[in-house]
Amino acid sequence: MFTDLNSLSTWGSIGAAFFAFCTVIVSVCQIKANNRVANASIESQKEMTRLNLTMQFIDKYDSPHIREKRRELAKHLMQEREYGRVNKTGIYIAGVEYVIDILESVGILYQRGWLDNSLVYNSFSYPVMQWWYALEGYIIEGRDAGIAEYYDKFQFLAQTFINREEAQRMMTVESKDKELSEFLQSEIS
């Protein structure tokens, strides 16, 4: 009977060890599942933050104050196009900084991945490209005057959209005088 008790005790220990092993496996699986849920939740929160931040920039770009600055700048640029000369003081007064600052900020956050790429492209690609075509000379002059990174993220954003358009159309995208005039006219009205 002593041998049977030893055998029973051994089998009991083996059973307890197996139960403990199964408990560890189940716990590890549960931890992994919880981590997946937590990571999915974090990714979901990040995506919501990207969407919210993108919508804030869209709202700001379309706000009455910035809309008025865009109108003033477009009006000034249309007058310059008629006379063929860029008036630095006039362009500054016309609100160039307000318009480009928003697009520079969008470019900075877009490059960092903090904005929703599809929504930014859908909402900003056309105006960014057109403002770039209209203001490229002004920005390059600012860089030539000694400000090396003068609105470089605005240029990055414009070039990103131009490259995407070229890839989609499989042709070079250029500023078309008529299209730029139509864009500026739409900003005025």
What Cα–Cα distance (Å) separates residue 172 from each residue in 39, 159, 166? Answer: 41, 12, 5
Check residue 159 and give its pLDDT.
Answer: 94
**Cβ-based neighbours of 78, under 8 Å, separated by 6 or more:** 181, 184, 185, 188
| pLDDT tens per residue across all 189 residues of the chain | 455 666 667 777 787 777 777 787 877 777 777 777 767 787 888 899 999 999 999 999 999 999 999 999 999 888 877 665 555 655 666 678 889 999 999 999 999 999 999 999 999 999 999 999 999 888 888 788 777 688 899 999 999 999 998 888 877 766 678 889 899 999 998
Residue with tokens 């929160």: 45
Cβ 57 vs Cβ 157: under 8 Å: no
pLDDT of residue 89: 55
The count of residues in the chain is 189
CA neighbours within 13 Å on the CB side: how many for 12? 6
- Predicted TM-score (pTM) of this structure: 0.74
Assign 43 to helix, strand or coil. helix
Among 136, 143, 130, which Cα is nearest to 86's? 136
Structural domain boundaries in the chain: 49-188
Contact yes or no for 79/134 (Cβ under 8 A) = no
